[in-house]
Amino acid sequence: MILVVVVVFVALVLRLWYLQLLKGPEYRVKSENNRIHLQDIPPFRGMIYDRHDELLVDNRPSFDMYIIPEDIQDRKHLLLSLNRLIALTPDLVEGKLKEASRRYPFKPILVKKALTREELALIETNFYNLPGVMIQVKPQRNYIFREFAPHVIGYLGEIDETQLMSGKFPENKPGDFIGRYGVEMKWQNQLNGVRGGEQVEVDAAGRKLRVISRKPPVPGANIGLTIDREMQALAEKGLEGRTGAVVALDPANGEILAMASSPAFDPNLFIGRIDRDEWEQIVSSKDSPLQNRTIAGQYPPGSVFKIVVALAGLEEGLIDPDEETFCNGSYTMGSRTYHCWRRAGHGNVALHRALVESCDVYFYKLGRRLGVDKIAEYANMCGLGRTPKFDLGRDKGGLIPTSQWKLKRWGVPWQAGETISMSIGQSFVLVTPLQMAVMISAVFNGGDLYQPKVIRWVKKGKEPIYEFSPTRRRHLKVKPENLELIKDALSGAVNEPRGTGRRARSKDVIVAGKTGTAQVVTLEKERIAKAGGDLPVKFKDHAWFVAIAPKDNPRLAVAVLIEHGGHGGSAAAPVAGELIRAYLEREQESAVSNRWDD
Active site residues: 303
* DSSP 3-state of 193: coil
Secondary structure (3-state) at 558: strand
Q: Which residues does 301 contact at the CB level (< 8 Å), separation at least 6? A: 425, 429, 431, 436, 516, 518, 544
Pairing status of strand 336-339 against strand 556-562: unpaired
Q: How far apart are the first and last CA of the chain?
A: 107
Could you tell me where the beta strands, DSSP code E, fall in 47-132? 48-49, 55-67, 109-112
Contacts of 386 (CB under 8 A, 6+ apart): 380, 397
For residue 222, give the DSSP letter: E
**Element (H or E) spanning 538, and its range?**
none
Residue 591 has a CB neighbour count (10 Å cut-off) of 10
Measure the CA–CA gap between 166 and 56, rounded to whole angstroms: 31
Q: CA-CA distance, 228 to 28, in Å (whole number)?
A: 59
- CA-CA distance, 45 to 219, in Å (whole number)? 6
Q: Facing residues of 224 across strands?
A: 49, 457
3-state secondary structure at position 316: coil
Partners of 543 in the β-ladder: 517, 562
